[in-house]
């Protein structure tokens, strides 16, 4: 009996350090060393490598990326999601940092306990980022066309909003800045119903779910009854004929960017007249002359895509604004990722800036609505020397003072995975 007890004690002294060592051992489960990666890279560390209350830190090429305790849904791993295409800014200066280049990068992971002390040694893996798809470019250039397969169907999440950035001379609106003055969002299903002999497509669009409108920073479900919208489009995205369902309601639709008729190579430019903005609720749209450039071929949303940058400027009446009733100057750009193999848009993001001079009464009404939403109190009117102040009645009456404001208009169309 004494011999057995002695052996048990000896074994316990041998195995306790081994078990303790196994609990603190760090291993990067994914990505594996030498892997080729693109877009978002999930860095996985087994949860068994991290003590209770602990966390992991992650560096890429020696630059700090995170210190967190986010776990996978099944709880088996600690996860850091490294976006190799994200735009990052220096925390000290706010200056945009260089983008992640294709090629070799080193990921370093360290485990910490609940008190912030290092556990074990750091581990590293080398990966090779490959976001570029430039090798796909044929010698004669790329032919960009929408898919013409009958029965093809895609859901797009769409959103537009007007954000207030500044008001000349205003000092009492800090809480209102950065809010969605106006906007809307919805998910639209686009399906190819038929292919015509002249190489055009009958496309049906129908909202799925609710249409949400934004007014003075607050989301509200729009009470309209949506119905299907039908359009005959060519494979370049140009709409040649419009129809709507005979059922009661309002047709809700979106515009996808038009494509060049000619083959294009990286760096090629072309001009178009294209619909830049569309109101989801009324269907009103604005077309402008645009300048377009094929910036490159790269992966986006799991597809090799043509990255197209579109620039535009002009004086327009915003189709989705009830607050801004006059035409205003606007300048902006759209970045579109078009999946040339699948024949569909993966995402299209339009960002524009406008700095119009608006009637004093209109600005006062806007700030009052925004401030009352954020603080629950009536806001004092924005004042400028010699400016007439009015909270009711017609806006922009004879002799009324104007106030310069700065706004950002943003419109996004994203394919739902």
Contacts of residue 283, defined as CB under 8 A and 6 or more positions apart, other chains included, come to 229, 250, 251, 252, 253
Query: Which pLDDT score is estimated for 170?
Result: 67
- Core vs surface per residue 342-366: b (16+ CB within 10 A) or e: bbbbbbbebebebebebbbbbbbbb
Among 244, 235, 238, 230, which residue's Cα sits nearest to residue 344? 235
Q: Which sign, positive or negative, has the C-alpha torsion 298, 301, 307, 311?
A: negative
Q: Is residue 101 packed enough to be buried (19+ CB in 10 Å), middle (13-18) or exposed (0-12)?
A: exposed
What single DSSP character describes residue 175?
G
Q: How far apart are CA 306 and CA 298, in angstroms?
A: 7
Predicted TM-score of the model (pTM): 0.84
Query: Which pLDDT score is estimated for 184?
Result: 92
Peptide bond into 108 cis (omega under 30): no
Spatial contact of 382 and 367, defined as CB atoms under 8 Å apart:
yes
Residue numbers in the chain where pLDDT is lower than 70? 1-24, 170-179, 217, 369-399
Q: How far apart are CA 98 and CA 300, in angstroms?
A: 19
Query: Which pLDDT score is estimated for 14?
Result: 46
Helix (H) or strand (E) holding 317: none
Ordered by where they begin, the domains of the chain are 26-129 (2.60.40.10), 153-415 (no CATH)
Query: Which pLDDT score is estimated for 381?
Result: 43
Question: Can you point out the beta strands (E) in 302-401?
Answer: 303-316, 328-339, 344-354, 357-359
What single DSSP character describes residue 132?
B
Beta strands 344-354 and 328-339: pairing type? antiparallel
User: 3-state class of 19 per DSSP?
Assistant: helix
Q: How far apart are CA 54 and CA 347, in angstroms?
A: 38
Among 315, 313, 307, which residue's Cα sits nearest to residue 335? 307
Q: How many CA atoms lie within 13 A of 299 on its CB side?
A: 14
């Amino acid at each position: 009996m004494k011999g057995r007890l002695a052996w048990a004690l000896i074994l316990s002294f041998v195995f306790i350090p081994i078990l303790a060592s196994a609990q603190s051992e760090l291993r990067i489960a994914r990505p594996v060393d030498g892997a080729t990666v693109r877009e978002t890279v999930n860095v996985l560390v087994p949860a068994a490598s991290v003590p209770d209350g602990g966390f992991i830190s992650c560096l890429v090429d020696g630059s700090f990326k995170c210190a967190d305790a986010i776990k996978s849904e099944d709880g088996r791993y600690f996860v850091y999601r490294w976006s190799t295409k994200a735009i990052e800014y220096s925390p000290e200066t706010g200056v945009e940092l260089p983008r992640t280049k294709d090629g070799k990068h080193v990921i370093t992971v360290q485990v910490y306990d609940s008190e912030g002390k290092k556990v074990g040694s750091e581990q590293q893996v080398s990966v090779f980022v490959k976001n570029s798809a430039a090798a796909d470019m044929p010698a004669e250039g790329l032919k960009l066309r929408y898919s013409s397969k009958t029965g093809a169907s895609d859901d797009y999440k769409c959103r537009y909003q007007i954000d207030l950035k500044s008001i000349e001379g205003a000092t009492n609106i800090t809480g209102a800045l950065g809010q969605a003055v106006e906007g809307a969002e919805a998910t639209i299903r686009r399906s190819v119903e038929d292919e015509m002999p002249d190489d055009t497509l009958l496309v049906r669009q129908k909202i799925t779910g609710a249409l949400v409108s934004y007014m003075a920073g607050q989301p509200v479900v729009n009470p309209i009854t949506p119905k299907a919208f039908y359009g005959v489009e060519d494979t370049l995205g140009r709409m040649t004929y419009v129809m709507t369902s005979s059922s009661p309601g309002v047709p809700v639709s979106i515009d996808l960017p038009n494509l060049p008729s000619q083959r294009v190579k990286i760096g090629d430019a072309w001009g178009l007249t294209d619909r830049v903005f569309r109101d989801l609720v009324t269907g009103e749209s604005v077309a402008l002359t645009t300048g377009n450039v094929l910036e490159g071929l790269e992966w986006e949303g799991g597809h090799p895509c043509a990255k197209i940058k579109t620039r535009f400027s002009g004086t327009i009446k915003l189709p989705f604004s009830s607050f801004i009733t006059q035409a205003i100057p606007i300048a902006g750009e759209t970045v579109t990722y078009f999946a040339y193999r699948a024949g569909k848009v993966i995402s299209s993001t339009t960002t524009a800036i406008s700095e119009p001079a608006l009637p004093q009464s209109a600005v006062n009404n806007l700030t009052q609505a925004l401030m009352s939403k954020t603080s629950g109190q009536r806001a004092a009117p924005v004042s400028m020397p010699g400016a007439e102040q009015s909270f009711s009645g017609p806006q922009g009456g004879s002799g009324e003072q104007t106030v310069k404001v700065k706004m950002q208009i943003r419109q996004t169309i994203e394919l739902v995975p």
